[in-house]
Amino acid sequence: MTMHPTWYLSRSWRHGLMLLALAGLAGCEPPQPPSGDKGKPVHLVETVPVVSDNLSVVRTRAGTLRARREVRVYTQEEGRIVDLPVYEGDRVSAGDLLVRLDDTLIRAQFARASATRKQAAQDARRLKELRGSKLVSEDEYARARTALEVAEADERVLKTRLGYTTITSPIGGVVSTRLSEPGNIAERHQHLLTISDPSSLVTELPVSELVLPDLAIGDVARVRIDALGDHVFEGRIIRIYPSLDPVTRRGTVEVEIEPVPAGAAPGQLCRVELNTRAALRRVIPFAALRRDADSEYVYVLDDDNRAQRMAVVSGLRLAERIEIREGLEAGQQVITKGFLGLAPGKQVKPVEHHSP
């Protein structure tokens, strides 16, 4: 078949135009960088400076109120209770009768001991006169003197035991516990009553070893008693115990409320605010502190914008900040965000810190 020359040229011309168009489109694509020129992703972090502030610390601790003076009354003799005239809530003064035990047996023993002592005294006087006449030996007189001394001692013992059958109040206060009734047999060293002095209330609070050095006897404390609502009462520290619990590393602080507010009573729950003296402390955001199995550390930014791990010793937690006792200086930049994939020596780019 013979092709027409005009049709052939027209078709070739169109084909060429298409090739030119495709070549033009290919020339518009951006050049691809060599595979070895791809840049590493930038590691962004937030940083804040270490600051030194003159800060005081407020710590709230819960405790239980108790009477500052509380005496448990025990028997020192056994016997039947014949009188127990006080009940819970009764007020007593020092010296008031609390308990009387049946003393019939001890009183009889005391009378016998008294008679024995009188007889021994007469014997000793008679032998003393006879010794002057050389009618008795020194040994006989010495034995008589010894018998008198034993009889006197027996009498004193029974007189003391007789006194134990009557128990009086050692302090003025309120009866808070009554544990027996008249007619019951009381054993020796049995707890019968408790007397509380309501003139002042105290509570004992556990306090961290880090806070104790900033507290002192006489410091004012704010006390809230749950049963009395939101009223705040003034207390003061009256005692700081000298030893710490070796497990919790906490000591004990005793706070007194005086005068006792109306409605307050031993056994109530209270919450005490302890305000430490202000001191210069280096602090960082709590989020910057890292911990592993046996140490604490932070990441700091060096002059080349590289993250460096720095061992620290932390102190008190102050809301969203924490005290740093060792390891950092004021002005150092610590990393607070961007810890994922962070390692010592890694190049980072700090960004502006946004406060919440």
Domain range summary for the chain, segments of one domain joined by +: 46-55+280-351, 59-68+198-278, 103-164
Q: What is the pLDDT of residues 341-353, one digit of tens each?
A: 899 999 999 886 6
Partners of 135 in beta bridges: none
Is there a contact between 220 and 273 (Cβ–Cβ < 8 Å)? no
Give me Rg for the CA atoms of the chain.
46
Q: How far apart are CA 207 and CA 213, in angstroms?
A: 10
3-state DSSP helix/strand/coil % of the chain, to nearest 5: 25, 40, 35
Q: What is the pLDDT of residues 121-148, one digit of tens each?
A: 999 988 888 877 777 788 888 999 999 9
Is there a contact between 325 and 280 (Cβ–Cβ < 8 Å)? no
Q: Quick check: helix, strand or coil at residue 312?
A: strand
* Backbone phi and psi for residue 85, each to the nearest 5 degrees, phi listed first: -80, -5
Element (H, E) at 338: none
Q: Of 316 and 298, which is predicted with more confidence?
A: 298
* Backbone phi and psi for residue 199, each to the nearest 5 degrees, phi listed first: -70, -20
Q: Is the pLDDT of residue 11 over 80?
A: no
Q: How far apart are CA 187 and CA 207, in angstroms?
A: 41
Is there a contact between 325 and 289 (Cβ–Cβ < 8 Å)? no
Q: How far apart are CA 66 and CA 111, in angstroms?
A: 45
Q: How far apart are CA 214 and CA 279, in angstroms?
A: 9
C-alpha pair distances (Å), 62 with each of 65, 176, 222, 226, 272: 10, 23, 12, 10, 6
Q: What is the pLDDT of residues 43-85, one digit of tens each?
A: 999 999 998 887 777 788 999 999 989 999 999 999 999 999 9
Is there a contact between 287 and 280 (Cβ–Cβ < 8 Å)? no
Partners of 193 in beta bridges: 73, 178
Please state which CATH class domain 59-68+198-278 belongs to: mainly beta
Q: How far apart are CA 21 and CA 133, in angstroms?
A: 162
Please state which CATH class domain 103-164 belongs to: mainly alpha
Q: Which amino acid is at 241?
A: Y
Listed in sequence order, the residues at least 6 apart from 301 whose beta carbon sits closer than 8 Å to its beta carbon are 45, 47, 307, 308, 333, 334, 335, 348, 350
Q: How far apart are CA 158 and CA 179, in angstroms?
A: 27
* Backbone phi and psi for residue 23, each to the nearest 5 degrees, phi listed first: -65, -35
What pLDDT does residue 35 have?
44
Q: How far apart are CA 181 and CA 334, in angstroms?
A: 71
Q: Region 159-184: what's the mean pLDDT? A: 96
Two tokens, residue 35:
């595979």
Q: How far apart are CA 265 and CA 262, in angstroms?
A: 9
Q: Is the pTM of this model over 0.85?
A: no
3-state helix/strand/coil string of 221-278: EEEEEHHHCCCEEEEEEEEECCCCCCCCCEEEEEEEECCCCCCCCCCCEEEEEEECCC
Q: How far apart are CA 157 and CA 155, in angstroms?
A: 5
Beta strands in 33-151 (DSSP E): 44-49, 51-55, 58-64, 66-74, 79-83, 91-92, 97-101
Q: Region 111-124: what's the mean pLDDT? A: 94
Q: Which amino acid is at 298?
A: V
Please state which CATH class domain 46-55+280-351 belongs to: mainly beta
What pLDDT does residue 38 have?
53
Q: Is the pLDDT of residue 255 over 90?
A: yes
Give the up-direction half-sphere exposure of residue 273: CA atoms within 13 A in the CB hemisphere. Answer: 10
The position carrying tokens 């003159």 is: 54
Q: Of 15 and 341, which is predicted with more confidence?
A: 341
